[in-house]
Amino acid sequence: MVLDDIGPAPYLAVVLVVSVIAQWLAWQVRMPAILALLLVGFGLGRLVAPEQVLGREVLFGGVTIAVGIILFEGSMSLRLKHVRDLGKPVLRLCTVTVAIAWALITLTAWLLGFRLPLALLLGAILVVTGPTVIAPILRQLRPTRRVSSLLRWEGIVVDPLGALLAVLVFQGVLIGGLGEALPELLWAVVKTLLVSVAIALALGILLEFLMRRHAVPDFLHGVTFLAAAVGGLVGANAVQDQSGLLTVTILGVYVGNRPDLHVEHVAEFKEHLQVLFVGGLFVVLAGRISPRQILDVAPQALLFVLVLIVVVRPVSVLIGLWGTKVTRSERILLACMAPRGIVAAAVSSIFALAIASAAHDRPGLRTLAGQADRLVPVVFVVVVCTVAIYGFGVGRLAERLGLASPSPQGALFVGDQDWVVQAARVLDEGGIHTLVVSRHYRSLAGARMSGLPTVTANILSDYAVKDMELAGIGTLIACTPEEEVNATAAREFAHVLGRAHVYQLRRDQTEDRSGDQRKAEARHLSARFPFRPALSEPELEERVAAGMTVKRTRLSEAFTLDDFLARYGEQTVLMFAVKGDQLEVLHEGSKPPQTGVSVVALVHDRKDEAAGAG
């Protein structure tokens, strides 16, 4: 190794830096981040071996804790009310589909040359998908709420169940026979369930008690929940081996669904940790695999991947969801979405080492230990291939099925003023998806009569922030007369759409022109201001009252932006630039092109505008 004398601190620093850079580059080129992380990990592994730097016990202890935190963060985001109409499909995905997939994967592995015990173990490991691969794809895909809920529930719930299934098979292998060990395995399942539920509920009730009585200061909320999750994970594993992942999953679902228990800031803290841990884990674990190991199993592994994608997933989903109310399009998308993630990679690494260690004392396991060395590279090939195929291919499929928009360009307008409806209608007529939200049903009559999608809701309600359907929406423009509502809505939806894609109208400056910094709004408490020039809601209403309307005009060499501005005068408000199906919100920092786009603007109505309108 080139860097075989590197210490733990420099190594961990390198892992942190390169994992963040890899995820940023993946975001820039719109590729699955896990592919970039795996490539970086394979490269770094050629320079330094993680086990030599950290030691085997520390390495896999850290992997276990990190995976537990990832599952805890993901399970906190699961909402039971989301599955009121999806209860049966979710149950089927987490039971029947898993059982069918396990059987088919086991059969495939056995036919490809693995001995039956290892085939059963490989099947158990690969039934999982997991939040580490599902969440990034969903973040980029933006599917409908139903599809997102189904995939999230399946990924997060099946992860610990798959790990538990793999542990039971592994214990059967070590005992000497799966049939002989059946009573022992059944008792292990019962103990695992009892321990997981008991510890999770005890910790959940304690956390709820402390939070409702404000017994923990705000600055300790995140680390308190983190400590509870890690303590529950390790404590459960100490009582019953490999019950920790199920424990933290139950704990996360419990605290995430307690009524009026506000843990949003805790969830945000955990989300940042999840991004950090996912990057680090993939880089470290990929570093344990050598190119020679990959090449040795490549033909077998690639055939295995082909069967997983073409046969196992479609058959298990279609049979598992038979008789449910899941639509045909949703079934097709679910059948084409099963990337494997960090739990499969971590569990395969742990079991391969455990079988090799047990083989020293038990000669009967030496044949299995020889094949067990092939488990890890096979699983990593499956992870790389499934993430690449599903990550790059599912977006176009989801778009064709009408279930997602991989590059959402739609605009969400918060407000019901006439100019808002006009702008939404003009964009809608140009092929841009729009949604108009207001708390007053009657005031949305104009939008409904124009055929625009509308939602009657308080934009600051739990429904709007957590449950409102946002498929196809990429931008929010908060333009109500209530400035605090605009600012709060922009901050909340920045977590979903990103700060670069949320806007609020400029605050009304007529009340205070003193320039007193003590009265000025802090910039981090507000979003960017849309339109050129950026106007307040009263100023926009004044221009509409003076006869200005929203119109769309095609700019060309014969009629440029300068020509447009010269024709309509200084009062013109540039709002949007549309090129094909791409929408840009214009603001005072943007530079709209002179030609080649359609500009949507608030202008004075003129009878002689035909020269450039389109």
Going along the chain from its start, the domains and CATH numbers come out as 8-50+57-400 (1.20.1530.20), 410-510+523-611 (3.40.50.720)
Lowest mean pLDDT of 139-153, 198-212, 378-392, 471-485, name the range.
Answer: 139-153
State pLDDT tens for residues 407-420: 678 899 999 999 99
Supply φ then ψ for residue 505, to 5 degrees.
-65, 150
**Letter for the amino acid at 349?**
S
State pLDDT tens for residues 437-455: 999 888 899 899 989 999 9
CA atoms lying within 13 Å on the CB side of residue 206: 13
Amino acid 35: pLDDT: 83
pLDDT band, very low/low/confident/very high, at 522 (cuts 50, 70, 90): low
How much is the mean pLDDT over the chain?
83
**Residue range 40-65: mean pLDDT, rounded:** 85
Strand pairing category for 548-554 and 598-604 = antiparallel
The answer to whether 384 and 28 have CB atoms below 8 angstroms apart is no
- For residues 312 and 286, what is the distance between their CA atoms, to the nearest angstrom? 25
Please give the C-alpha separations between residue 381 and each of 329, 354, 374, 392, in angstroms, as whole numbers: 29, 21, 11, 16
What is the Cα 175 distance to its own chain's centre? 39
Question: For the CA atoms of 462, 464, 466, 469, what is the dihedral angle to 10 degrees?
Answer: 150
Please give the C-alpha separations between residue 535 and each of 483, 573, 611, in angstroms, as whole numbers: 12, 9, 28
Amino acid 360: pLDDT: 66
What is the Cα 225 distance to its own chain's centre? 21
Give percent above pLDDT 70 in the chain. 88
CA angle at residue 162 from 160 to 164, to 5 degrees?
70
Please check the confidence at residue 521 and state whether its pLDDT lies above 80.
no
Helix H or strand E encompassing 104: helix 96-111
- For residues 422 and 597, what is the distance between their CA atoms, to the nearest angstrom? 19
Amino acid 516: pLDDT: 57
Three-state SS for 340?
coil
Edge-first strand listing for the sheet containing 434-438: 454-456, 434-438, 410-414, 473-478, 502-504
pLDDT band, very low/low/confident/very high, at 614 (cuts 50, 70, 90): very low
- Output the six-digit token pair for 100: 């069918």
Please check the confidence at residue 25 and state whether its pLDDT lies above 80.
yes
Amino acid 99: pLDDT: 92
Please check the confidence at residue 609 and state whether its pLDDT lies above 50.
no
Of residues 67 and 132, the one with the higher pLDDT is 67
**Letter for the amino acid at 226?**
L
State pLDDT tens for residues 265-277: 787 777 778 788 8
Please check the confidence at residue 489 and state whether its pLDDT lies above 80.
yes
Please check the confidence at residue 612 and state whether its pLDDT lies above 50.
no
**Letter for the amino acid at 260?**
D
Q: How many residues does the chain have?
A: 614
The answer to whether 485 and 161 have CB atoms below 8 angstroms apart is no
| Residue 554 β-bridge partners | 598
Place of tokens 């759409």: 497
The neighbour count for residue 65, using CB atoms within 10 Å, is 17
Please check the confidence at residue 338 and state whether its pLDDT lies above 50.
yes
Please check the confidence at residue 486 and state whether its pLDDT lies above 60.
yes
Strand pairing category for 502-504 and 473-478 = parallel
- For residues 280 and 168, what is the distance between their CA atoms, to the nearest angstrom? 28
- For residues 484 and 544, what is the distance between their CA atoms, to the nearest angstrom? 23
Supply φ then ψ for residue 453, to 5 degrees.
-65, 135
- For residues 184 and 240, what is the distance between their CA atoms, to the nearest angstrom? 13
